[in-house]
Structure formats: C-alpha cells, structure tokens
Chains A and B, each alone.
Chain A
C-alpha cells in the first residue's frame, strides 16, 4: 500500500483505537473503581468489615480475570448481540473489553488504596468521620497519584486488547495491522500500524508517570 493511502488509514484507525480504548476504560473504571473500594473497605480490619462479602467478591473477580480476552470475546458473543444489537464492529468490542477490564481495574484500585497508611484512616475515624467521608475525603484523595499510575497501566493493557478487535470485525490499528498487513503480507502496513500503537502506549505511559509525579506530595 502506498504511503498516500496508508497515512489517512493510520490516522482514522488510530482514532478508532483511542475511541475503543478510552470508552472501554471509562466504563470499566465506573464499575471497577467502586468494586476496588469495596474490596478494601469490607476487609476484616477495615472500616466496613464484611468478610463473607469480601471473599465472594474477590472470588468472582479472580474468576473473571482468569478468562483470556479472546475466549471472553467468543463467550460473550450472544450477550453482546443482545445488548449492543450486533456482535460485530467497533462498538460491539467495547462490551467484552469492559467485562474483561473491570475485574483487572478493581484489583489495580485495591492495590492503590492499600498503599494508604492505615494510621491515616484511623486518624480520620478518631475525628468522627463517617465511612463515606473516609472514602471520599481520605482514602481516594490520598491514593490519587497511585490511582493515576494504575490508570495508565490499565489503559495500555486495554489498548493491547483492542488489537484483537479484528477477530470481532472491529477496527483500529490492531485490526489494520492484521487484516491489511499480516494477511496480505504488506509489511509496511503491519509495521507502521504497530509503530503507531507503540507510540500511543509510550505517550500514555509517559503522561501517566509525569502526572503521578506532579500530583504526589508525599515524596519531596
């Protein structure tokens, strides 16, 4: 494929990749963030102990996390069709992406919240905070740098998943590299699409690291 034809294709597929990635990430965070909070606060030693609930939630999340994305895609085909209306195309890939990503995100969030010193939570309790105040004014704000860092990692992971969108007839750089590159032995397409993917991952990683450092007031 000539560069004149390839460049607009790279551009439009890059946008599609970003669209899939960011939309899936956003929805997965809307589900995963509260679950991560629940995983932390329902522990026995935390502010809202519910050990049975915690164990069940943990088990479900582990189960979902252990399913490889490509299998999840196939398993969810009928569900996706029922919910999205179609199982094929860019929008149809977002649903399985979300289902695969939110358990991962819940664990990432749990890890970030775990880094908040228990003494700080205890101090907030001693000041007469409600549990909601502890979550919204202490736990989450104190974990912001780590949450941002985790978000950058989660987003790049989801980005990697979108490369498999071609298996569901979706678009994006991954699909471009496979359908118009690998399958047609056009290595220019394959290589350049991959390089753009790599560049996007780099940018997200660097932005994440910079933002984390800028927002962290703990180390200086």
Chain B
C-alpha cells in the first residue's frame, strides 16, 4: 500500500460534447497534509473532485484513494466532501444537515449528537444551529457545509471552494480549523483560486490549467523567484558607498537597495552603513514570490506560446521537484 492517501496516474476526463476537462493528471497526496489544487476557472479542479467522489466517471487513468481503487465506495466512508455549489436541503436546520450527512455515512446515532455539537462549535454555528438552512446567509451555509464534511471523522476531506462567501473573520477561523485538522492527522484537499487564503497554511500545491498539471510540489520549491530583502531609505548615498555596495552584489536604485538573500543577518551591515551616513530608513522588507505571482507565472506560461520573460523568472519553466 502506498503512503499516499491519493495516488493518481493519467486521470483523464472528456465530457460529453468533447470538452477535455482533464488531460492526464498525475497526483500524489501524502497523508496528513493540506493540499491545494489551484487553477483558474474551468481548469478542471471540480472535475477532479467529482471523479474521486464518484459523481462522474473518469475517461481514463488509474489511481487509488485511501488504498482502494477510485470509485470504491468503501473508501468514501472515510471521505468528507464539501461539494462546489453545495445545496443542502433547505428545509433542514443547520444541525439537521450535519445529522443528515452522519446518517448517510452510517455514523452511529450515539456518536452523531456529540459530534454535531462539537462541529457546530468548531464552525461557530452553535447559536444558529436550530434555524432552517434557507434562512442562512451564504457564509453560514458554507460553515455548515464544512462541518457536515467532517461528521464521519474522515481521513481525507475534499473542500471545493470552501471559503466562498465566508467573511474575513470566518476565513481566519477556517485557516485555524484546517491546521487543527492537519494536527489530527487528516489530509485536506482544497480546491480554490483564492490563493491568499491558502498561502499561510498549505503544505503542497498542484497547479492545473486547462486540464493539465503545470506544477506540483512544496510551495518553497515551486517558487522560481528567490526571496530578497528590500531596504528603502530617504536621502542619497555617498558615491564611495555605492561603489563598495555594488561590488558586494547589492542592487542599488534611487532610495532602494535590493539584497539577494533571505537571511536577515546578511543585511545588518548595509543598515549600519545607512545609519552611519545619517540616512533615514523608511522600510526593510523580505520579499518572497507570492503564491499569486507563482500561480500567474505558471498559468501565463501555459497560456502564451512564447511567454514574455517575467523579471527574475527563467524563461523555461522551473524543474518541479516531485517527492
């Protein structure tokens, strides 16, 4: 048995009508991580989740989920799902929705009650639990959606656009919740295109576009731009200092020094020098390539035949380490 909770090779899906939503995707998702499946609209993210949860059949490819071939229902009992555009029975209360999923997943009645309580607490819906779904706001529905996905104590949780409609406080709660689930040893598979959401918590990402896997791996490894320090100051450096600084590899622009390093110790001498010359430091910042920049880099490269070189980015796609 593989160590991966998800181990997929060459997954393809061609919808009726000829849309090739997935063109042979290989994915390995290790146990106990937060895994982000990123891609623009129509990339095939939801298609992937639907194949894994038997809502649609794959056109080709093989794979296992929790050690069982995909499509095997016994694996689904250990899977939680928040589908895209989830539509829960609107005549049920939030609590009943959680109990409904528990019933479908054959969670013993004795456990359901206690789990529903703690899940409602977890998504901060304890107070509103007795109101009907149709009276909930979008974000409230989404919170209940996340809660019901966890009611069967799943080993792997698929969340398709989980923070759709959730407010900033809710998103922060969501991130905390994800970390907590990871600590409990669950694997969380998140589909999203809201990258800022994922950046602080995600362990691995896969970037797909137009049904093709563009990159996969640990976020830091994927970053093509190395982190650098930006030091902003007011005033002018003496020509001698400019010369000596350029010799050490610093890049100087008016009012900005760029140091190609991520170690803070490396830039202390530069700061000392600026202070000695009586200049005012206005800002010191470690710049990393954001997930969004990374994502756009991949997607643009795949969209444009001859992509314009992005400053600091090699023209060829970076080698993607896969583990």
A binds B: no
Contact residues of B with A, CB < 8 Å? none
**Residues of A in contact with B (beta carbons under 8 Å apart):** none
